[in-house]
Amino acid sequence: QQPVQSPQAVILREGEDAVINCSSSKALYSVHWYRQKHGEAPVFLMILLKGGEQKGHEKISASFNEKKQQSSLYLTASQLSYSGTYFCGTGWGNFNKFYFGSGTKLNVKP
């Protein structure tokens, strides 16, 4: 029931782009994206509620394909501050269960 994230780790140079994928074996109601820096709590990035909807903030955006039960997070022109572990979270129904993926470690180097 836990969503599957890929890749597990990414190393980028500043200014490069990255895509992180999240897929589920169950029909999704929503997808959340969070970022966790080392030693800190996860911080909310965005939530997608409708199939096919794409949301974004500055150079980080995400899409949600309800039919394919997939979401992707797009990081454009990465900055050093983007480094951290990215988690997708998926919920359905009455949110009795809300699972996070195993995370994708992103390391942006100068």
Partner 1 sequence: GAGVSQSPSNKVTEKGKDVELRCDPISGHTALYWYRQSLGQGLEFLIYFQGNSAPDKSGLPSDRFSAERTGGSVSTLTIQRTQQEDSAVYLCASSLVGAEAFFGQGTRLTVV
State the nearest-atom distance from the C-beta of 67 to partner 1, in Å: 21
Measured distance CA(110)–CA(108) in Å, rounded: 7
Among 25, 57, 94, 110, binds partner 1 (CB under 8 A): 94
Residue 40, both tokens: 């800190």
- Cβ closer to partner 1: 4 or 16? 4
Strand pairing report for 84-91 and 70-75: unpaired
DSSP state of 3: P
- Cβ closer to partner 1: 41 or 81? 41
Measured distance CA(89)–CA(23) in Å, rounded: 10
Give the binding site for partner 1 (CB under 8 A): 2, 29-30, 32, 34, 40-44, 47, 49, 87, 89, 91, 94-103
